[in-house]
Amino acid sequence: MAEPKRVIVGITGASGTILGVRLLELLRPIDGVETHLVMSPAAVRTLGIETDYSLDQVRALADVTHSFRDIGASVASGSFRSEGMIVAPCSVRTLSSVATCMSNDLIARTADVCLKERRRLVLLFRETPLHAGHIAAMDQATRNGAIVMPAVIGLYYKPQSVMEIVDHLCGRALDLLGIDAGVVRRWQGTGQNEKNGEEPGDL
Mean local confidence (pLDDT), 38-57: 98
| pLDDT for position 2 | 80
| pLDDT for position 1 | 65
| Three-state secondary structure string covering 4-58 | CEEEEEEECCCCCHHHHHHHHHHHCCCCCEEEEEEECHHHHHHHHHHCCCCHHHH
Alpha helices in 51-159 (DSSP H): 55-61, 92-100, 106-116, 132-144
| pLDDT for position 190 | 83
Mean local confidence (pLDDT), 138-153: 97
- 56-85 pLDDT tens trace: 999 999 999 999 999 999 999 999 999 999
| pLDDT for position 131 | 98
- 176-187 pLDDT tens trace: 999 999 999 899
Q: Percent of the chain scored above 70 by pLDDT?
A: 94
Sign of CA dihedral 46, 51, 55, 60: negative
Q: Using alpha carbons, list the distances in angstroms from residue 166 to 121, 153, 178, 182.
A: 19, 8, 18, 13
Which strands sit side by side in the sheet containing 120-125, from one edge to the other? 64-66, 33-39, 5-11, 84-90, 120-125, 147-148
- 186-202 pLDDT tens trace: 998 887 655 555 555 55
Say whether the peptide bond before residue 129 is cis (omega within 30 degrees of 0).
yes
Q: Residue 89 phi/psi, 5° resolution?
A: -80, 160
| pLDDT for position 195 | 54
CATH for the stretch 5-177: 3.40.50.1950
Global confidence as pTM: 0.92
| pLDDT for position 7 | 98
| pLDDT for position 191 | 74
Binding residues: 13-15, 40, 91-94, 126, 156, 172
CA-nearest of 88, 87, 89, 81 to 34 is: 81
| pLDDT for position 192 | 65
3-state secondary structure (DSSP) of residue 86: strand
| pLDDT for position 35 | 98
| pLDDT for position 71 | 92
Binding residues for dimethylallyl phosphate: 156, 172
- 85-134 pLDDT tens trace: 999 999 999 999 999 999 999 999 999 999 999 999 999 999 999 999 99
| pLDDT for position 76 | 97
Distance, CA of 30 to CA of 10 (rounded, Å):
19
Binding residues for FMN: 13-15, 40, 91-94, 126
Rg for the chain (alpha carbons), in Å? 18
| pLDDT for position 54 | 97
